[in-house]
Each structure stands twice: as C-alpha cells, then as structure tokens.
Amino acid sequence: MNQKGLVKGGIYLLSGAPGAGKTTLALQVAVDLAMQGHLIVYVALEQSTHDLKDIIDGRIYRQMRGESNNKKSSALPLREGLEEVRKLQQAEEVFEEKKKRIESNLYIEDSLGSIEALQDFLIRRVTRGELKDTALI
C-alpha cells in the first residue's frame, strides 16, 4: 500500500494468540480516534460491552490520567501542595472533557454473534445511520 496509517472507512481485523494484547491495542486505537472526533464502531464477537468498558476504564483511562506510578510525596510544603492540587484538578477537568468526546464518538456493538452477521450490520447500522440503537460506552 502507498498509504500510511489506517484508511478512512476501513474495516480491520486483529488476530493473534490469547493474551497478546489484541483487545487492548484495538481499544487504545479506537479511543484515540474517538478523542480526535472520528466516529468509531467497535464490533466485539467474544467480549461484552461491559468487559470492554472495564478495559477502557481500568487501563486506558487510567493511563490517560497518568495514574500509573506518577504519585508524588504527600510531604510537600503547603504552597507547593496547594499548587499540586490545582494542577491535579486542571488535569482532571481536561481528562473529563476528553472522556466526554470519546464517549460521544465510540460505539461498541456486541450483539452480532458471528462474523457472518457483520455485513448486514454494516449495511443496516452504518450506511443507513442507525447507530442510535448501538451501545454507547
């Protein structure tokens, strides 16, 4: 291919051994694209919407917040401590705005049952604009 990256409107299939990180990678890409304003439909054949939301909440959002080992000492002088609290509050507000954007653009569909149903789903829901019935995370 002469094009870099993902093709707009493309359908992508990740495959690999169990536990290789396929779901986490796919969700990270989906979240990033949704945050940029792209409409994303994530079709899950093996996991429920609830399970996928748990991965997003537990891994991806936590990473976005920077909670993975970036904790400072609680023994800061008062002025520095107050400044740190202000920075954390601002970071949380920025995160919440990103999360709203993601959740308005990312749809997870877990009712197909098989890959054979994908074509009908795409025709019905995507090309006709019927995403309103699809589970929004």
Q: Is the pLDDT of residue 100 over 50?
A: yes
Q: Could you read off the pLDDT of 80-95 as tens digits, one per residue?
A: 888 888 888 998 999 9
Q: Is the pLDDT of residue 69 over 70?
A: no
Q: Is the pLDDT of residue 126 over 70?
A: no
pTM of the model: 0.72
> DSSP of the chain, one letter per residue?
----SPPTT-------STTSSHHHHHHHHHHHHHHTT--EEEE-SSS-HHHHHHHIIIIIIHHHHT-SS-PPPS---HHHHHHHHHHHHHHHHHHHHHHHHHHHHEEEE----SGGGHHHHIIIIIITT-GGGSEE-
Looking at residue 13, its pLDDT comes to 80
| Nearest residue to 43 via CA among 15, 16, 11 | 11
Looking at residue 121, its pLDDT comes to 79
Looking at residue 73, its pLDDT comes to 55
